[in-house]
A and B are shown apart, each in its own frame.
Chain A
Amino acid sequence: MRRRVAVTGLGVVAPGGKGVKAFWELLTSGRTATRPISLFDAEGFRSRIAAECDFDAAAAGLGPAEVARMDRYVQFAVAAADEAWRQAELDVADPWRLSVCMGSAVGGTTRLERDYVATSHAGREWLVDASLASPFLCRALSPASLAAEVADRVGARGAVRTVSTGCTAGLDAVGHAARLIEEGRADVVIAGASESPISPIAVACFDAIRATSTRNHDPEHAARPFDRDRDGFVLGEGAAVLVLEESAHARRRGAVVHAEVAGFATRSNAHHMTGLTAEGVEMAEAVRHALAQARLGIDDVDYINAHGSGTRQNDRHETAAFRRVFGARAYQVPVSSIKSMIGHSLGAVGSIELVACVLALVHGVVPPTANLDTPDPECDLDYVPHTARERDLRAVLSVGSGFGGFQSAVALTGVRRP
C-alpha cells in the first residue's frame, strides 16, 4: 500500500506580517509588501527595493543566545517551524522517525558578507584577520546548520537534510521530505525553506545581471508578474514550514489534515545557468511527472501557483510550459503569482508558495496577481489580476524555476481529493 503524505501543520514568516493568519490576509487582500530597502543603505545600487520581513526575534520566542548564534534566515525558519509544530500538536512522535528537510539557496550569505567586511577591513585585505570573526561564522559557511537548528527545536533524530537547488529549493525540500515518508524512511518530516538574502552582495549580484526591478520610485508596484511593464523580480525574504506526516499516522492520532502532498518532480533544462528556453519543455515535463505521480489528470487541477518572478523571460517560459501541458484547459485554470506581493525570496519562496497553496485549498480562495494592469500579449492565461477569487479547489499545482536550469513542480490535493 502506497504511503501518502498529509500536511498537518503550517508556519510562515513572510513580508507583510508574521504568521499564517497575517500572511493569508495579505495575499487575499492583494496588497503588496514591497518597499525601499531598509536592511542596509542601498544608495548606489541599481535595484533599491525589496520585500522585507518586520521580524522581531524576541517576540518569536528567541532568546539572546539564539539570536546571536542563528543567522537571520535560521531565525525565520525556527519561528516558522515553531508555528507549524504547535499547529500540528505532535508531541508523541518517535524522534528516530522524525526528520527535517529544509531548503535555502544562499544560506548564510548575509553573515558571511558581514564577517568578511569585518575581517578584511572592508574588502581591503585578502588575508583576512580571523581574530575579528564572529564565533558563529563557521555555521554560516554551510546552510546545513539551517536544518540542524530546526531539528534541535523539535527533537528530531531521523534524517536531517538541507536542500540547496537555488530558487527551486523551497519546492524541492518539500518534495524530498515527502519522499522520505513515501519510501518509509520517516513518519513525520518538518519540511520547508528559509532565506534572508537582502544584503549588499546579493543585491549587487542581481544588479550585475539586471535581473531585479529598478522601479525604485514606486516600490509597491515594482513586482509585476505577467504585466507588459514588468522589469525584473523584487528580492524578498522569509521562511515557511510544513509538517508532513504519513497519512495513516495522522489519521490514527486524529490530526487535522489540511492537504496532501501528492506529487513532486524536478527536471533540468541543461540549457543555461540563468537563461530559459522559449518552449518550457523541461518545466512541462516536471509538471507531467508530478501530476502522474499524484494520479491527477489535467482536468483535476483547479489552480496553478506560478513561479511568476516577473522577469521578461520567466513569465513567457512558464506560460508556454502551462500551455504545453494543459492545452486548451490552460485558459480555464486560474494561474497567479504571489511574488507580486511578497517578492522573490529565492530558495524560501517555493515553500512559502506551498503554504499559500494549502491555504487556497482549505479556504477555497485563489490568491491574486497584484500589479497586473496590462498583460503581456505573450502571457495570455487567466492570471487572476488584483483580486482574490473564491473557487472550489480540489487539486493545485505549484511550480518553480531556478538558476542552474532547475524546473520543479509539486502537486497538492485537498481533503476532498478528485
Chain B
Amino acid sequence: MKAVVTGLGVIAPSGIGVERFWPAVRDGHVALATVRRYEPNPYPVRVVGEVRGFGPDGWVDPRVVVQTDRFTHFAVAATTMALDDAGLDPATVPPFGFGVVTASYAGGVEFGQREIERLWDGGPEHVGPYQSIAWFYAASTGQVSIGNGLRGPSGVLVADEAGGLDVFAVADGELCRGASAMVVGGTEAPFCPFSMCCQLGLGLLSTNEDPATAYLPFTAHAAGFAPAEGGAMLVVEDERAASDRGANARAVIAGYGSTYTGTRCFDRSAEGLLRAAETALADSDLDAGDVDVVFLDALADQRADAAEAEALRLLFGDRTDRVPVTAPKSGYGRCYAGAAVLDVATAVLAIEHGAVPPTPGVHDCRFDLDLVTGTARRADIRSALVLSRGQHGGNSALVLRRPDPITRGGE
C-alpha cells in the first residue's frame, strides 16, 4: 500500500474539528447524553452521541443544504476541514486524479422519513425533487465530488461499521492505479424516530439511561452500545505525490485485511478478526510484535467483547496483557460507518501526539488486556492496529504506521 494521510476533518459528539476533538478524546471526556433531536420518550434507547452545535450554515452551500440530509452536511463540512488541514487545493491535482470514497450505513434516512411522510400524508405530488438525491447512500460522495470539483475515481460502500476501514483499502487501490489523492471517510446522522425504530431491532443498543454508564465495553456491565452521529473525512495521498508537493505525511496506511463470519455470529468473529489483523499486518510487512496500540471495535456485547479479547489473545499470545488497547468511542458513541473512520483519525492523532487516549467510563476491564482507562498514556507509537466489525458479519483491520522507517526488533 502506498497511501499517506495528509489531512483530517472530524465531526464528532466529542468535538467539531480536530482541535476540539483531540483534547476531549485524550482526556476521556464523555459526550453521551439524552437525545434531543426528537422526543425520546417513546423509545427505550435514549442515551446517544449527538453532535451539538453543528449547523450546516457556513459549512455547506445553502443550495446544497436544501437538497441533502444531515449525514451529507457532516461529510461536506468534514471534507472542507480535511482539505484545509492537508493544505491541498483540488485545482492543483491532475483533473482525474482526485476522487472520493465514503462508507455509509443509514444514508439520508431523516430526509427520507420526511419525504415518505409527505407521500403518504399528502400524495405523490408532495414528494420533492431532492428525495432522489438526498436519501441514497451515494449522496455524500456525489456532493463532496461536486462541491470540490473532484473528477477522479469515486466510490460508496455500505458495510456497516467495517466499511469505515474498507474505504481506505478502496482508496489505496485507486492510488495504486494512478490517482494522486482521495477523500476517504464516512459520516452518519441516524437520529430520527424511524431510523431509531430500525436500529432497535439490532438488539445491540444500550437502554441504560445514565450517560456515565450507558456504554461500557469490556466490563461486566457491558449491555450494548450508545449509537452516535458524526464521523470523519480524511485526505489520503499517494506517498510520492504528497512528498513532491512538500506535504506532511501524518501516517502511512500500511495494510488492510477483511473477513466475514456471519450476521450477528459474534462468537465466530474472534477467528475473523484474527485473520483480518494477520492479513493487515502481513500486508504492512509487520508482525504482531510490532503493534504498539490497538483501537478496538468495542461492541459492548458480552459475547462480542469476549470474541474481540480472544482475537487479541490469539494475535499477541504471551504479550496480550502488555499491548495497550483502547476504545475511545465509549466516550462519544458508535456512529456506524463513521465509527472506524473516527478511530483511524484518532490513531493518526495518537501517533502524532505520542499518546494513547483512554476508554472513557471504563474502570474494570473483565479481560486480561491492557485496556487504557482514565487518562491518556504516553507512548511511542510506530504502528497502530484499528479493528472494526459490522453487524452483518464483516471483520476488518487496518494498520497505520508512523511515516519514519521502522527498524524491526531483533534484526
Contacts and interface: CB of A to CB of B under 8 A. Distances in A.
A–B interface present (Cβ within 8 A):
yes
Given A141-B109, A268-B99, A274 B132 contact: yes
Interface string B89-117: 00000001001100011100100110111
B61 to A, nearest CB: 13
B260 interface: yes
A203 B132 CA distance: 10
Interface stretch (B244-252, B309-317, B368-376, B389-397): B389-397
A183 B166 CA distance: 14
A156 to B, nearest CB: 6
B118 interface: yes
A117 B120 contact: yes
A404 to B, nearest CB: 3
A138 interface: yes
B263 A138 contact: no
A358 interface: no
B262 interface: yes
Interface string B144-171: 0110111111111111100100100010
B138 A404 contact: yes
A164 interface: yes
Contacts of B109: 141
A208 B129 contact: yes
B121 interface: yes
Contact of A269 (B129, B151, B156, B272): B151
Contact of B156 (A122, A165, A206, A209): A165
Interface stretch (A31-39, A127-135, A382-390): A127-135
Interface in A117-160: 117, 119-120, 122-124, 126-130, 133, 135-145, 147-149, 151-152, 156-160
Contacts of A123: 116-121
Interface string B127-147: 111011101111101110110
B117 A112 contact: no
Contacts of A96: 259, 275
B195 interface: yes
Given A116-B116, A157-B259, A270-B151, A136 B159 contact: no
B127 to A, nearest CB: 4
Nearest to B154: A268
Interface stretch (B37-45, B78-86, B355-363): B37-45
Interface stretch (B25-33, B198-206, B289-297, B342-350): B198-206
Contacts of A278: none
A204 B393 contact: no
Contacts of A124: 121
Given A116-B194, A128-B194, A205 B127 contact: yes
A165 B113 contact: no
Interface stretch (A52-60, A99-107, A241-249, A330-338): A99-107
Interface string B24-66: 0000000000000011001100000000000000000000000
Contacts of B99: 268
B124 A273 contact: no
B261 interface: yes
B220 interface: no
Nearest to A274: B133
Contact of B193 (A46, A126, A206): A126
A101 to B, nearest CB: 10
Nearest to A134: B201
Interface string A250-286: 0000000000000001111111111000000010010
B383 interface: no
Contact of B138 (A105, A119, A161): A105
B87 interface: no
A64 to B, nearest CB: 19
A163 interface: yes
B260 A151 contact: yes
A161 B258 CA distance: 10
A144 B131 CA distance: 21
B117 A105 contact: no
A293 B149 CA distance: 25
A303 to B, nearest CB: 25
A145 B3 CA distance: 29
Given A116-B194, A183-B173, A166 B157 contact: no
A138 B127 contact: no
Contact of B263 (A145, A269, A273, A405): A145
A24 interface: no
Contacts of B128: 208
A220 interface: no
A19 interface: no
A273 B66 CA distance: 13
B123 interface: yes
A319 interface: no
A402 B155 CA distance: 12
Given A163-B156, A208-B131, A137 B197 contact: yes
B159 A161 contact: yes
Given A166-B138, A285-B96, A403-B133, A207 B394 contact: no
Given A96-B259, A119-B194, A46 B390 contact: no
A136 B197 CA distance: 11
Contacts of A128: 193-194, 197
A352 B260 CA distance: 25
A164 B198 contact: no
A129 to B, nearest CB: 7
Contact of B155 (A44, A145, A172, A274): A172
Contact of A144 (B200, B272, B392): B392
A344 B125 CA distance: 22
A205 B142 contact: no
A266 B332 CA distance: 36
Contacts of A141: 105-106, 109, 195, 198-199
Contact of B150 (A138, A161, A169, A270): A270
B201 A138 contact: yes
Nearest to A186: B258
Contacts of A274: 132-133
B67 interface: yes
A403 B105 contact: no
A322 interface: no
Nearest to A176: B170
Interface string A389-418: 000000000000011111000000000000
A376 interface: no
Contact of A120 (B120, B133, B135): B120
A323 B39 CA distance: 56
A403 B154 CA distance: 12
Contacts of B196: 130
B60 to A, nearest CB: 14
B283 to A, nearest CB: 9
Question: 5 nearest interchain CB pairs?
Answer: A404-B142, A123-B120, A138-B201, A160-B260, A159-B258
14 contacts: A116-B113, A116-B117, A127-B38, A127-B39, A138-B202, A141-B106, A152-B263, A156-B260, A164-B158, A165-B154, A200-B119, A204-B127, A267-B151, A268-B100
Given A138-B391, A268-B150, 8 more contacts: A117-B116, A117-B120, A120-B117, A123-B119, A183-B173, A201-B127, A267-B154, A274-B133
